Amino acid sequence: MPNSRPRPRRGARSGAGAAGRDELVSRSLQSAEHCLGAQDFGTAYAHYLLVLSLAPELKDDVKETFQYTLFRWAEELDVLSRTQDLLGCYEQALELFPDDEVICNSMGEHLFRMGFRDEAAGYFHKAVKLNPDFSDAKENFYRVANWLVERWHFIMLNDTKRNTIYNAAIQNAVCLGSKSVLDIGTGTGILSMFAKKAGAHSVYACELSKTMYELACDVVAANKMEAGIKLLHMKSLDIEIPKHIPERVSLVVTETVDAGLFGEGIVESLIHAWEHLLLQPKSRGENGNCEKYGKVIPASAVIFGMAVECAEIRRHHRVGTKNVAGICLPTNVKFQSPACSSVDAEETVEPYTTEKMSRVPGGYLALTECFQIMTVDFNNLQLDDEHSLSTSPSEETCWEQAVYPVHDLADYWIKPGDHVMMEVSCQDCYLRIQNISVFGSEHEVGAGKNFTQDKDLMSLGGEAELCNALANLQTSKPDAVEQTCILESTEIALLNNNLYHEGFKMAMRRVLSSLTPEKLCQAMDTQCQNEMSCGNEESNSEESIPEPFYVLDVSEGFSILPLIAGTLGQVKPYSSVEKDQHRITLDLISEANHFPKETLEFWLRHVEDESAVLQRPKSDKLWSIIILDVIEPSGLIQQEIMEKAAISRCLLQSGGKIFPQYVLMFGLLVESQTLVEESAVQGTERTLGLNIAPFINQFQVPIRVFLDLSSLPCIPLSKPVELLRLDLMTPYLNTSNREVKVHICKSGQVTAIPFWYHMYLDDEIRLDTSSDASHWKQAAVVLDNPIQVEMGEELVLNVQHHKSNVSITVKQ
């Protein structure tokens, strides 16, 4: 705690009033210092507010102590869930110190923990702008930059074909007379600038995101068009005439479409535009000046689909195992990914996921020809067939494809001549495809295929299977089951990873065996557990029951590791799952595996403050095993993991272990133009001469996440090398800074350094986050400037580990 107590400066004021204020300031400073000593941070904070309001000239003198007081008081408010008071304190602090990067960063951290990611990202960005060398703010900003400026902006702006076709369509419309233009969801303002360059007299552009609106203002000004383009920070549904724009426009341009076409609300916004903002459309065959009529670009859209078989998508959306490391998954539990949620669900979610199908690991098998699903005319009667874009997997564009996982077909098998039928609709602003049916070639349309319910279709192979990935297809509504458990796609992939669970089972057994050398712990099947339960009932003395081993799993999300631990003998496993549906599901699995009801405990029910999840199981007991989630599914190290490991080590009994015990980070040098283009806008040529790159590239981050290294378009220039060791059990082995020599095995340009991890549960059992079965993705550091290397050379990498963040730079 800072301990210097400043004194009010004399001479700043004169007279009795000034003397009185100085005396009050002095007494308030004394009181603040006394409160800090007593750890009464709320009262100390109030005293400092009074001091700074009366004597703003003391800002520099009390700044450090004020920050300390603010942060400690904010921590208390956070624990008390006094969110409004906490945010109010930070707002007061930023009024006093608007250019303080430390306060901005701390405000962002609190907002991020509360779930306000957009707002948090804004404060991190401000902190970085105030001090580009502030490492904590930079690392925070890199993690959340996606919420400020989504990565598809870079990919889209680098898509020269897309930009050229939009520009041509806008030029054509303006030349035909559409001189007043509204750009809905302008983003960087590129379509508005196309319209202005084409000769439009009046251009209006609206953008809801505050960050993107401010970015568009900078871009438009840099291109000297601020006088000709009026930018509105609002959504188009709130635009009124003549309040915001003087009259109806003759042309609306927009790209508020996603991979599923309707997901960004284009239908709702265009219906509103036609009713309130656009001139009436030209009737078919009618001649006349186009300036008198309304028109929309894009004019129309045709949705195509294709049924595919894809093992990679299947394992992320359908649980394909019935037994996980000895734990039986009961039939009365149905696992689904969010993309399969019913339209009747309480929350409206996208009924599809998105994939770059040309880069899906393992590829996919097309089971049908491309077929037309729906045609949408955004201009009512008018179509423009001259300029078109395709988002097909076979096209090299900035677009991904919408993928509708299929769950509920009783028989997934199809053969040449079969037909797939579905119902297509647009509900809740999403394209939904339901009631999938497969008809055999021997049946007439309308007669459903005779499905075999009891056949274990999952175990068969070698034939074409209509798997759980149909590009632009979705399943019918599920039949009623006792429990539907919604899991993220990464959680489903994890549940399908038997090697992961078998590895944990073996590692846990070894630890528990070492703690009971007189009797080895052995895996117990269901019958053994029943026998043990019966044996306990026969014993009349509670003293004969040995004290259990306590196992705590604090993995993020859904995990059945506590249940696996429960099969290893006298173990009391604790799960830290948060969602009620996940707890109900684990209870049902426990019941199906004949666990005694008291076996599994949900730890958060016993913890008053979720932030203090790491504590003793009982006042006089310690944990035998603590399972930590070290790597995020995105491919980054979990934040604050080393702090959690430090606490965990203090909570282990003698001989107890943290899982994983240590982690090795590996990487290699690659040349990848794809990563370069997905990370930053490349000059002005891609954006047809418009100056956009320097502004949006402020939001580029050096690390790309959620990569599939096995299918990433790249050329390896070195072999994998060990970059870093993170030891959770023996921290003295860790280093915060090391240099790694990398031997170049192929000449080329180093543009990126992909990395992944080997997680060691013990010295023999390891999990590889880059394996085909892994639920983890990989990440990569993308260099600002490519480095030319020749075969046989050595490159030196500087690897720094700060808190939970790793930075990799090339030492020149």
243-286 pLDDT, tens per residue? 999 999 999 999 988 887 777 888 888 889 989 999 988 776 66
Q: Give which of 361, 347, 358 is closest to 313, Cα–Cα.
A: 361
Residue 11 pLDDT: 44
The whole-angstrom separation of Cα 408 and Cα 455 is: 15
- When the pLDDT of each residue in the chain is averaged and rounded to a whole number, the result is 84
Q: Which two tokens stand for residue 745?
A: 């095995």
Whether 235 contacts 214, CB under 8 Å? no
Average pLDDT over residues 582-600: 90
Who contacts 772 (Cβ-Cβ below 8 Å, separation ≥6)? 361, 362, 710
Neighbours of 423 (CB within 10 A): 12
Contact 124, 137 (CB under 8 A): yes
Q: 787, 795 in Cβ contact below 8 A?
A: yes
Find all residues with CB under 8 Å of 534, minimum gap 6, and list them. Answer: none
State the pLDDT confidence band at 517, using cuts at 50, 70 and 90.
Answer: low
Where residue 168 falls among pLDDT bands split at 50, 70, 90?
very high
123-132, 283-292, 635-644, 727-736: which range is least confident on average? 283-292
| Dist CA 686 CA 398 (whole Å) | 12
Least confident interval from 46-60, 341-355, 749-763: 341-355
Compute φ and ψ for 313, nearest 5 degrees: -70, -35
| Residue 106, pLDDT score | 92
Among 138-142, 539-543, 576-580, 662-666, the range of highest mean pLDDT: 662-666
Show the CA angle centred on residue 744, arms to residues 738 and 747, nearest 5°.
140
Residue 510: exposed, middle, or buried by beta-carbon count in 10 A (0-12, 13-18, 19+)?
middle
Pairwise CA distance, residues 389 & 812, whole Å: 43
Nearest to 355 by CA among 398, 403, 292, 304: 403
Mean pLDDT to the nearest integer, 164-177: 93
- Count CB-CB contacts under 10 A for residue 296: 25
Whose CA is closest to 553, among 604, 478, 618?
A: 604
pLDDT on residue 391: 77
Pairing of strands 715-716, 670-671: antiparallel
User: What's the mean pLDDT in 301-318?
Assistant: 90
How far CA 366 is from CA of 360, 430, 432, in Å, comes to: 13, 24, 21
DSSP calls for 562-615: HHHHTTSSSEEEEE----HHHHHHHHHHHHHTT--TTS-EEGGGS-SSGGG--S
Q: 383 pLDDT band (50/70/90 cuts)?
A: very low
Reported as a pLDDT band with limits 50, 70 and 90, residue 453 is very low
Residues 277 and 207 sit within 8 Å (Cβ to Cβ): no
Instruction: Compute the distance between CA of residue 272 and CA of residue 296 in angstroms, rounded to an integer.
Output: 13
pLDDT-derived band at 544, boundaries 50, 70, 90? low
**Is there a contact between 669 and 680 (Cβ–Cβ < 8 Å)?**
no
User: pLDDT-based confidence at 365, cuts 50/70/90?
Assistant: very high
- pLDDT, residue 793, reads 94
- The neighbour count for residue 671, using CB atoms within 10 Å, is 21
Tokens of 16: 């009795």
Q: Which two tokens stand for residue 674?
A: 């794809």
Burial of residue 736 (CB within 10 Å: 0-12, 13-18, 19+) is: exposed
C-alpha distances in Å from residue 531, one per residue of 324, 520, 538, 597, 769? 22, 18, 11, 15, 38
Work out the angle at residue 633's Cα, subtended by the Cα atoms of residues 631 and 639, and round it to the nearest 5 degrees.
45
Report, as an integer, the average pLDDT of 447-452: 37
d(CA 572, CA 750): 51
Q: Is it the case that residue 65 has pLDDT exceeding 70? A: yes
d(CA 69, CA 63): 10
Contact 314, 329 (CB under 8 A): no
pLDDT value of residue 16 = 60
pLDDT value for 495 = 95
Q: Is the separation of the CB atoms in 799 and 781 below 8 Å?
A: no
Residue 448 pLDDT > 50:
no
586 to 338, 488, 508, 570, 591: CA distances (angstroms): 19, 16, 20, 19, 9
The pLDDT-based confidence of 773 (bands split at 50, 70, 90) is very high
Cβ–Cβ < 8 Å for 431, 472: yes
Q: What is the mean pLDDT of residues 206-228?
A: 94
Q: Each residue of 90-119: pLDDT tens digit?
A: 999 999 999 999 999 999 988 888 888 888
Three-state DSSP at 74 gives helix
Q: What size, in residues, is the chain?
A: 812
Percent of the chain with pLDDT over 70: 85
Average pLDDT over residues 237-246: 93
Q: Which residues does 665 contact at the CB level (< 8 Å), separation at least 6?
A: 722, 723, 724, 725, 726, 755, 756, 757, 799, 806
**pLDDT greater than 60 at residue 520:** no
Q: Is the pLDDT of residue 535 over 70?
A: no
Q: Which two tokens stand for residue 48?
A: 């400092």
Coil, strand or helix: which one is 415?
Answer: coil
200: nearest Cα among 321, 334, 62, 297: 297
Tokens of 369: 């020809």
Rounded CA separation 746/487 (Å): 42
Pick from 655, 641, 657: nearest CA to 552: 657
For residue 183, give the nearest of 194, 193, 174, 192 by alpha carbon. 192
Q: What's the average model confidence in pLDDT over 2-18?
A: 50
* Residue range 121-142: mean pLDDT, rounded: 88
Mean pLDDT of 597-615: 78
- Under the banding of pLDDT at 50, 70 and 90, the label for residue 650 is very high
Torsion 741-742-748-750 (CA) sign:
negative
What's the half-sphere exposure (Cβ side, CA atoms, 13 Å) at 415?
Answer: 6
Instruction: Give the per-residue pLDDT at 538.
Output: 44
Per-residue confidence (pLDDT) for residue 351, from 0 to 100? 81
CB 103 within 8 A of CB 52: no
| Burial group, residue 784, by CB count within 10 angstroms (0-12, 13-18, 19+) | exposed
Whether cis (ω within 30° of 0) applies to the bond prior to 731 is no
Residue 567 clears pLDDT 90, i.e. is over it: yes
Arithmetic mean of pLDDT, 372-385:
69
Which of 75-89, 413-427, 577-591 is the least confident region? Answer: 413-427
Q: Give every CB contact of residue 734 below 8 A, 6+ residues apart in sequence.
A: 642, 725, 726, 727, 801
Cα distances (Å, whole numbers) of residue 186 to 213, 264, 390, 580 = 8, 13, 21, 40
E strands along 629-673, which residues? 652-659, 662-667, 670-671
State the pLDDT at residue 451: 35
* Residue 133 dihedral angles phi and psi, to the nearest 5°: -100, 5
Taking 80 as the threshold, does the pLDDT of residue 396 lie above it? no
In this model, does residue 327 exceed pLDDT 60? Answer: yes
Please determine, for residue 411, whether its predicted confidence score (pLDDT) is greater than 90: no
The residues, ordered by sequence, that sit 6+ positions from 531 with a Cβ below 8 Å of its Cβ are none
